[in-house]
Amino acid sequence: MESFGKILVIIGLVLVVAGAIIWLGGHRFEWFGNLPGDIKIRRNNVTIYAPIVTFLLISLLLTLLVNIIRRFL
């Protein structure tokens, strides 16, 4: 149970830091979600948005973060 508690604390700290970065520097991340490869289709009253490349980038970053955390725990 102790290792689970450590993991929850680390995840919480990561979320707080990520939230603070986005909150304080939000205008610097306007490119995020508008990467080449993200699909936007706008027709009349319907908008379809599929952020494929953004999801791949998030997946890569989270995979690296989890591997780093697992090495130190």
User: What DSSP string runs through 6-36?
Assistant: HHHHHHHHHHHHHHHHHHHSGGGGTTTT--T
pLDDT band at residue 29 using 50, 70 and 90 as cut-offs: low
* Phi, psi of 13, deg, nearest 5: -65, -40
Helix axes 52-72, 2-24, angle to 10 degrees: 140
User: Taking 90 as the threshold, does the pLDDT of residue 22 lie above it?
Assistant: no
pLDDT above 70 covers a percentage of the chain that reads: 93
Give residue-wise pLDDT tens across range 57-68: 889 988 998 888
Q: What does the alpha-carbon distance between residue 24 and residue 62 come to, in Å, rounded to a whole number?
A: 21
- The answer, yes or no, to whether residue 71 has pLDDT greater than 70, is yes
pLDDT in tens, 38-63: 898 999 999 998 889 988 988 998 89
